[in-house]
A and B are shown apart, each in its own frame.
Chain A
Amino acid sequence: MKTHMFFLGKQGIRMLLLLVCVSIAAFFLVSVSPVDPLQANVGQAALGSMSPEQIEKLEAYWGVGEPPVQRFLAWASDFFRGDMGISLLYRRPVSGVIAEKFANSIWLLAIAWVVSGVLGFCLGALSGMKQGTWIDRLVKGYSLLIASTPAFWLALVLLMVFAVWLKILPVGLSVPIGMEAAGVTLADRVRHAILPALTLSITGVSNIALHTREKMIDICESDYVLFARARGESNWSIFKNHGFRNAILPALTLQFASISEIFGGSVLVEEIFSYPGLGQAAVTAGIGSDVPLLLGITVISAAIVFGGNLIANILYGLVDPRIRRGGGSL
């Protein structure tokens, strides 16, 4: 038990240190940027017609001309107290903007993550157990094809088919246009999330399906499966008793490690479907030079990714009895 706590503590500290480094790296990147926030947001023409005092005020607002280390320390100490600064584009606290966008995104991400994981595992397991048959070739072909397909193009095609031609699903946004927040029903929200979630699920399947397939082929060639066949176990009982247990652990680890990819996909997909989530906010912040928001989103999403990796590490101990008993050997 003690070794367990030690392991968790060590992982937790590592994660915190990594987060600090991520924020330093991100801050470094935005502060070396030659992009002038005034030019990007106010425009050359408007700047030309302003008095020097006005420009000075604007420069103070966008933080031009302060030394980066000083700015970082100020930003970091505020961040630790829970104040992520004010978003320059939304003119609201960054934490509020992120909380709102995150609430929109989390549904999309969770649905896509679960659907792609379950579907990918089932397809991969099926294809691995039926190696060489048409099912196997279909699943493998699909996975390889999807691995080469950019998520944003798939999103465009789905948008074209379902929203433009068939007109059965809305083109974008998480709620109908011109409707009061109170009048939005759950059904509306679901309808608007279908296409983005579908895109992310379709693209997320391929990796996990291919890995599970490989694992399942290994398992089917093992001595214990040969022995199970000799005992006369059916395919289903071999899967239930041997295949599933051995294949689920790597699949789970992979799925938790793939949070980064699903989040990356959501940036593109949210932008295309103009779904007001974290990904779209990141793009808006990047294009509009909203440094506080961009930094906030980077740190939060890195925390989510590290959290996923941490869970994967812990799950390893929980799911596999060998690791659980010999906790110290990890």
Chain B
Amino acid sequence: MRTHVLNGRVRTALWFSLAVLFLALITILGLVFAREAVVTDFSRKNLPPSSACIFGTDWMGRDMFVRTLAGLSMSIRIGLLAAGVSALLALLLGILSATMGKAVDSAVTWVIDLVMGIPHILLLILISYACGKGFRGVVIGVTLTHWTSLARVIRGEVLQLKEAPYIKVAGKLGLRPWQIAWKHMVPHLFPQFLVGLILLFPHAILHEASITFLGFGLSPEQPAIGVILSESMQYLAMGKWWLAVFPGLLLVLTVALFDVAGESLRKLLDPGSAHA
């Protein structure tokens, strides 16, 4: 066994803070540099990475590093909105499904099966098409399609909770179902809800990038990681590898960091695995 200076709990907390800090940094830097990201300078187009522009420049002389930051910042903000609304929807439907009786339960599980039955990307294409493409379509699409798995988890959890003695006692003491749900179930579900919320981010961001990449999402003028990567495709054959490699790597890092944040929070909130 190796011995660590810091115990497991502190190390996990450190990882969590590092991940959150880094993500916050990307979001803020992207906002700060929003104007620089669209500055074109035709005296420096198609430059490979150098010390001045560490990610190189594109065909319009835009600094790829700044552009990537702005794009990721946009992705994170869309992810924040979509994951937040999605998670709340999941919590609400999960609790409704497990407490409001059989008819509501089958209705909710039916909708979950329905949403999960259409391949995710195809559903996003359909919703984006329904909203007339563009920004609104992506946000609505990503929000409406990510709640299903978390809703399933919460429903299962509530079904178990309903059998717990303290919930039964609360019922016998005359609390109404919504009072039980709010006072006794929500606090119990909160850790799972929080972890589920953070773990929704990676999916939301990847799907936002994918759908934009396919041409259904954000419009080409907007700094979006999907737009950057789909533009880079046209320049691949000419050997301009930096246009695709670095933005993609930063996207992978962002998504992985959300995973790290979610998993370490799960460890911290679950006493059983806090020291593992």
Binding site for B on A (CB under 8 A): 18, 21-22, 25-26, 28-30, 32-35, 144-145, 147-153, 156-157, 159-160, 164, 171, 260-261, 263-265, 267-268, 271-272, 279, 282-283, 286-287, 289, 294, 297-298, 301-302, 305-306
Interface residue? B174 (CB, 8 A): no
A164 touches B120 (CB 8 A): no
Query: Shortest CB–CB separation between residue A134 and chain B, in angstroms?
Result: 14
What 10 A-B pairs come out closest when comparing CB atoms? A29-B130, A153-B248, A148-B256, A264-B121, A148-B255, A34-B132, A263-B119, A286-B125, A29-B126, A264-B119
Query: Shortest CB–CB separation between residue A118 and chain B, in angstroms?
Result: 22
A157 touches B119 (CB 8 A): no
A272 touches B233 (CB 8 A): yes
Bound together, the chains give a CA A271 to CA B122 distance in angstroms of 13
Residues of chain B within 8 A (CB-CB) of A151 are 210
Residues of chain B within 8 A (CB-CB) of A271 are 214
B118 touches A22 (CB 8 A): yes
Q: Mark out the residues of chain B between 169 and 201 whose CB falls within 8 Å of any chain A CB in the assembled complex.
A: none
Query: Shortest CB–CB separation between residue B207 and chain A, in angstroms?
Result: 9
A-B contact pairs, 12 of them (CB 8 A): A18-B114, A29-B127, A34-B132, A145-B256, A152-B229, A157-B245, A260-B120, A264-B120, A286-B129, A298-B126, A301-B118, A305-B117
Residues of chain A within 8 A (CB-CB) of B131 are 33-34
Chain B, residues 232-265, CB within 8 Å of chain A (1/0): the string is 1100110101001100100110011001000000
Query: Shortest CB–CB separation between residue B15 and chain A, in angstroms?
Result: 13
Interface residue? B147 (CB, 8 A): no
Interface residue? B202 (CB, 8 A): yes
Residues of chain A within 8 A (CB-CB) of B236 are 156, 159-160, 164
Bound together, the chains give a CA A243 to CA B3 distance in angstroms of 32
Residues of chain B within 8 A (CB-CB) of A306 are 117
Binding site for A on B (CB under 8 A): 110, 113-114, 116-122, 125-133, 202, 206, 209-210, 213-216, 229, 232-233, 236-237, 239, 241, 244-245, 248, 251-252, 255-256, 259
Query: Shortest CB–CB separation between residue A228 and chain B, in angstroms?
Result: 26
Residues of chain A within 8 A (CB-CB) of B232 are 156
Residues of chain A within 8 A (CB-CB) of B129 are 29-30, 33, 35, 286, 289, 294
Other-chain residue from B118, B209, B210, B245 in contact with A305 (beta carbon distance below 8 A)? B118
A144 touches B239 (CB 8 A): no
Residues of chain A within 8 A (CB-CB) of B125 are 267, 282-283, 286, 294
- Nearest B residue to A265 via CB reads B121
- Nearest B residue to A309 via CB reads B117
B248 touches A157 (CB 8 A): yes
In this complex, the member of A28, A151, A301 whose beta carbon has the largest number of chain B beta carbons within 10 angstroms is: A301
Residues of chain B within 8 A (CB-CB) of A302 are 117-119
Bound together, the chains give a CA A149 to CA B255 distance in angstroms of 8
Bound together, the chains give a CA A149 to CA B248 distance in angstroms of 8
Q: With A22-B118, A264-B119, A286-B125 given, is the CB distance from A33 to B248 under 8 Å?
A: no
B118 touches A152 (CB 8 A): no
Bound together, the chains give a CA A26 to CA B115 distance in angstroms of 11
Interface of B is mostly: helix
B259 touches A147 (CB 8 A): yes
Residues of chain A within 8 A (CB-CB) of B213 are 152, 268
Residues of chain A within 8 A (CB-CB) of B229 are 152-153, 156
B252 touches A283 (CB 8 A): no
B233 touches A267 (CB 8 A): no
- Nearest A residue to B209 via CB reads A150
Query: Shortest CB–CB separation between residue B147 and chain A, in angstroms?
Result: 16
Q: With A153-B244, A160-B236 given, is the CB distance from A261 to B122 under 8 Å?
A: no
A25-B114, A260-B118, A298-B118 known; 5 other A-B pairs, CB under 8 Å?
Answer: A30-B126, A144-B259, A152-B210, A156-B232, A156-B248
B130 touches A33 (CB 8 A): yes
- Nearest A residue to B247 via CB reads A153
A164 touches B237 (CB 8 A): yes
In this complex, the member of B117, B245, B252, B256 whose beta carbon has the largest number of chain A beta carbons within 10 angstroms is: B117
A153 touches B113 (CB 8 A): no
Bound together, the chains give a CA A264 to CA B118 distance in angstroms of 9
Residues of chain B within 8 A (CB-CB) of A150 are 206, 209-210, 248, 251-252, 255
Other-chain residue from A156, A164, A267 in contact with B214 (beta carbon distance below 8 A)? A267
Bound together, the chains give a CA A18 to CA B116 distance in angstroms of 11
Residues of chain B within 8 A (CB-CB) of A171 are 237
Residues of chain A within 8 A (CB-CB) of B216 are 286-287
Residues of chain B within 8 A (CB-CB) of A144 are 256, 259
B244 touches A148 (CB 8 A): no
In this complex, the member of A28, A171, A260, A268 whose beta carbon has the largest number of chain B beta carbons within 10 angstroms is: A260
In this complex, the member of A261, A302, A306 whose beta carbon has the largest number of chain B beta carbons within 10 angstroms is: A302
- Nearest B residue to A151 via CB reads B210
B126 touches A26 (CB 8 A): yes
